[in-house]
Amino acid sequence: MTLTAAIVLAAGEGTRMRSSKPKVLHEFAGKTFLNRVMDAVGALDPETLAVVVRYQAQRVAEAARSYDDAVLIVEQDEIPGTGRAVQCAMEQLGERGPLSGTVLITASDMPLLDTSALKQLLDYHRDSGDGATVLTTVLDDPTGYGRIIRDADGNVLKIVEQKDGNSSELAVREVNTSVYVFDAAVLEQAIANLNADNAQGEFYLTDALTVARQVSKVGAFAAPDPLSVEGVNDRVQLASLAKAHNLRVCRQWMLDGVTIVDPQTTWIEDEVEIESDAVILPGCFLQGHTTIAHDAVVGPYTTLIDATVELGAHVERSRVQESRIGREANIGPWTYLRPGNEIGTGSKAGAFVEMKKAHIGDGTKVPHLSYVGDADLGENTNIGGGTITANYDGVHKNHTHIGSDVHIGAGNLFVAPVNVGDGVTSGAGSVIRHDVPDGAMVYSENTQHVVDNWKPAWER
């Protein structure tokens, strides 16, 4: 059905999060709550997507615009409550002309809200002919949620908030998810005369359903997946929901042919892609747009952020960000790949190696205890332990080029900018400040001095 407007309520502070950051900007599986809800709603293609802001309004509005530059930002005034938020939104939407059709309203603290459930809700609303439909779910523990109170015929009578319910009402396990569909005309009537005569002194949107029932039928549609409509009020709920979601994600990847040795300690964000027969060992965090190819092995205890791991590569006990790891390359343990690295086929970045904007040729080895930054290394080159490219002169990041079939001795220091040709051999402990031609041997002298019977000053 055509969706005239979708209103996302993002005005609350979320005091139970105990945070200086608005609740809607906390992250879940790599995206903020607000981003995830806007994505779910936006996929319905509403004529207008509106986000209502109040607490840290500018910060939330900037985030919303970064997710969808066509979003309509509605600023709620100082009158509190979800009902007031919708009043403000409808007033601003009405400035564009008379509003008709269907209006979807959703909270922004439901990070697993999905487009499929919303489509089913809209279809149910259309087919039922109701003037208003509330999305509900049944919980084993409904504490904190508004209860759905039905009449003897099973029709929705009202929604009672936790603080306003009596013992029989609070025993109800069917709860309000804070997602609603209204016919625009019914909604305008329903919110016209809201008041704050309740325990929290707020304009409740739930009270609008009581008014809507006087002018039209109010229906309820049960969400097919309770997890998809679970809200987050504090960090305990956030951790619990994130864990439940992550276990589902791991389970699906295992059903798709990926080996995950320990799903309890493996965290995979939604946009990660993994091919079958990849192996994920315990303690891994796979984040952002990471892709892992067939037969690759990741872990144990590895973090990949926007990384590409190609066929047969192995990344162990390392952190890799915005880098590509080539076929059958070997990374780790304790390797740190900062953004911008290209690691070639069959190459190696070994123990306690750090790289940044390094291009490592096929078959080249940087085995251990080295830093390679702003550098190109050719093919089949070996870098001795403890080698450093000194790329920063205090103002600029300078470049180092080391050719193919080069053998670099232990403890070398390359003072960039410098170019080392193919087939070069360097002596241990060399400081290389000037270009070296192909096929040369390079070393720098360092006179050794011995002071017999020496004692430190404090001992003398």
Enumerate the known binding-site residues: 9-12, 23, 76, 81-82, 109, 146, 161, 176, 233, 338, 356, 371, 382, 391-392, 428
Rounded Cα gap, residues 217 and 239, in angstroms: 38
Reduced to 3 states, what is the DSSP secondary structure of residue 354?
strand
Structure tokens at 214: 């006087």
Rounded Cα gap, residues 179 and 118, in angstroms: 9
Reduced to 3 states, what is the DSSP secondary structure of residue 102?
strand
409 near 430, Cβ under 8 Å? yes
Reduced to 3 states, what is the DSSP secondary structure of residue 104?
strand
The amino acid sitting at 385 is G
User: DSSP of 96-140, one letter per residue?
Assistant: TS---SEEEEEES--TT--HHHHHHHHHHHHHHT-SEEEEEEE-S
Is 368 designated active site?
yes
Q: Which residues of 381-396 are buried (b: 16+ CB within 10 A; e: fewer)?
A: bbbbbbbbbbbeeeee
Rounded Cα gap, residues 272 and 253, in angstroms: 10
Kindly report the backbone phi and psi dihedral angles of residue 57, in degrees, each rounded to the nearest multiple of 5, phi listed first. -55, -45
Kindly report the backbone phi and psi dihedral angles of residue 117, in degrees, each rounded to the nearest multiple of 5, phi listed first. -65, -40
The one catalytic residue in 26, 314, 359, 368 is: 368
The amino acid sitting at 436 is V
Rounded Cα gap, residues 12 and 364, in angstroms: 54
Tokens 């994130």 sit at which residue?
242
Reduced to 3 states, what is the DSSP secondary structure of residue 28?
strand
Rounded Cα gap, residues 44 and 55, in angstroms: 27
- Supply the angle between the helices 82-94 and 206-215 in degrees, to the nearest 10: 60
Pairing of strands 174-183, 102-107: antiparallel
Tokens 């969808």 sit at which residue?
68
Cα 158 from chain centre:
37
Rounded Cα gap, residues 141 and 124, in angstroms: 26
Considering Cα of 377, then 378, then 384, then 385, what sign does the dihedral take?
positive
Instruction: Return the half-sphere exposure (C-beta side, CA atoms, 13 A cut-off) of residue 61.
Output: 12
Please list the residues that pair with 132 across neighbouring strands: 182, 218
Catalytic residues, by residue number, are 368
